Amino acid sequence: MEIEPVNLAPWRFRLKNAKLLKLYGQVTQVIGLTVEARGINASIGEVCEIVIPDEQEAVRAEVVGFRDGSAILMPLGELRGVSQGCSVVPSGKSFSVPVGEQLLGRVLNGLGEPIDGLGTLDEMSKAGYYPVDSRPPNPMTRKRITEVLPTGLRVVDGLLTCGKGQRIGIFAGSGVGKSTLLGMISRYSNADVNVISLVGERGREVLDFIETDLGPAGLARSVVVVATSEQPALVRLKGAFVACAIAEYFRDQGKNVMLMMDSVTRFAMAQREVGLATGEPPATKGYTPSVFALLPRLLERPGMSHDGSITAFFTVLVDGDDLNEPIADAVRGILDGHIVLSRSLASANHYPAVDVLNSVSRLMPDITSEEHRADAGRLRDLLAAYRQAEDLINIGAYVAGSNPRVDEAIAVYETIIDFLKQDVQEHSAYKHTLEMLKTIVHKGASEHH
């Protein structure tokens, strides 16, 4: 007896298109920033939808913890309309963001959605999605940093030279010129693409930064991700990671990407809100342990790959100009260098207000020529000598000839200050910067002799 073969094709089609049962949960309570839900089986980082009666759009929320058999979720948007008994539907996947070349020139919110009124990003889904919370690259697969990335700023290129794939912190108090410095780097650097993340910024400053500091030319090769201070804590956190994911996409296309984030301090504050809401104990100055665990996951993601590079500038808003406060201290230990902005220099109309003697680029010795390092070191020596005798010079108590180093420093001090100052609209080519640096150093030596 022969058994006729069964045609399974229609069954495969039906199974593929069958509407399977989904496990729905229910909102049991809302406390502060968190939503508790029972009846769902979801993992940390999974995105769920909270269905609100009589509303077309559900509220997206992410699982951030568990307590007494309930999942704790934090909203990726407004909590308005959420009530006890609302259905909670797990999506089965973590948060991801659409990527593509069409992102250039666009302004997105902390969830990667456009807010510039230039249309949706639906057509971009062909380029795919990138996970927002991906791991930093394997340290053994990172290429070494050997090439200079000119920023167009004399003080950085000459004395704090930055390499492709380097991560640098800009440490400053409020109102000392961080945003202006980022705007200049974004306009004048040799990077192919800028990805700029404004985390916890004032809403008023966003348009100011885009139109004034960035400008039309800067925006054309940039992607701006904005999560303003009134946004939920989780959205502010996601804004930083969304910018990282977009930068990773362009890096994987073989481009040299400049990632700029303002500021890491407000990112840490957002994580502190999340941690306290989920029951973490406050530790150093109120920051929860998860803050210090999350910082390396963010700061280690930029760097070199086999295809391209992500060079990163992270600003750190130092509380009360205290460079040893917990976040500044933790960030400085992770990054490859730090640029310190000085309030006293800014008060004296010295912009960019970079305190050269307190700033360092850890990779400068590896990527610059011996002559460049010698010239930069000599200029630092001259500046340090002048600063040590500055009080005596200002009151006329210094006697010429007392100290040969100070005499040489006095002779070229005005030239050094002219070199360190730079107008917002002024671009300095890397080669020209090195020539100016060499001229100043040799002028000081010749005038002294």
pLDDT tens for each residue of 36-57: 999 998 999 999 999 998 888 8
Q: So what's the pLDDT on residue 250?
A: 95
- Measured between alpha carbons, how far is residue 87 from residues 82, 156, 210, 287 in Å? 10, 54, 40, 33
Q: Is 94 exposed, middle or buried (0-12, 13-18, 19+ CB in 10 A)?
A: middle
Cβ atoms of 335 and 313 within 8 Å: the answer is no
Alpha helices per DSSP H over 318-429: 326-334, 343-347, 364-367, 370-388, 390-394, 404-420
Q: So what's the pLDDT on residue 49?
A: 93
pLDDT at 10 > cutoff 80: no
Q: So what's the pLDDT on residue 399?
A: 86
Q: With cut-offs at 50, 70 and 90, classify the pLDDT of residue 62.
A: very high
Q: Which structure tokens are listed for 174?
A: 């409020």
Report d(CA 224, CA 106) in Å as an integer: 6
Q: Which of 110-114, 212-216, 299-303, 310-314 has the lowest mean pLDDT?
A: 212-216
State the pairing for strand pair 222-227/46-51: unpaired
Q: So what's the pLDDT on residue 81?
A: 85
Mean pLDDT across the stretch 152-176? 94
Nearest to 356 by CA among 331, 374, 381: 381
pLDDT at 6 > cutoff 60: no
Helix, strand, coil share (%) of the chain residues, nearest 5: 40, 20, 35
Dihedral sign, CA of 366, 368, 372, 375? Answer: negative
pLDDT at 125 > cutoff 50: no
Report d(CA 256, CA 148) in Å as an integer: 12
Q: Which of 111-115, 177-181, 317-321 has the lowest mean pLDDT?
A: 317-321
Task: Quote the Cα angle for 306-309-315, to 5°.
Answer: 150
**How confident is the model over 200-210, as pLDDT tens digits?**
988 888 998 89
Cβ atoms of 205 and 350 within 8 Å: the answer is no
Query: Residue 33, SS3?
Result: coil
Percentage with pLDDT > 70 across the chain: 92
pLDDT, mean over the chain: 89
Query: Residue 248, SS3?
Result: helix
The model's pTM = 0.89
- Total residues found in the chain within this entry: 449
Cβ atoms of 429 and 150 within 8 Å: the answer is yes
Tokens 């665990």 sit on residue: 293
- Measured between alpha carbons, how far is residue 338 from residues 37, 210, 360 in Å? 44, 25, 6
Q: So what's the pLDDT on residue 294?
A: 95
Asked whether the bond before 352 is cis by omega within 30 degrees of 0, the reply is: yes
Q: What's the DSSP call for residue 354?
A: B
Nearest to 265 by CA among 203, 329, 214, 215: 329
Report d(CA 295, CA 237) in Å as an integer: 11
CA Rg, the chain, in Å? Answer: 26
Mean pLDDT across the stretch 121-133? 73
Percentage with pLDDT > 90 across the chain: 61
Asked whether the bond before 94 is cis by omega within 30 degrees of 0, the reply is: no
Mean pLDDT across the stretch 323-328? 88
pLDDT at 449 > cutoff 80: no
Report d(CA 55, CA 78) in Å as an integer: 13
**How confident is the model over 215-225, as pLDDT tens digits?**
888 899 999 99
DSSP-assigned states of every residue in 207-227: HHIIIIIIHHHHHHTEEEEEE
Element at 130 (helix H, strand E): strand 129-131
- Measured between alpha carbons, how far is residue 38 from residues 26, 29, 68 in Å? 6, 10, 10
Report d(CA 302, CA 193) in Å as an integer: 14
pLDDT at 100 > cutoff 60: yes
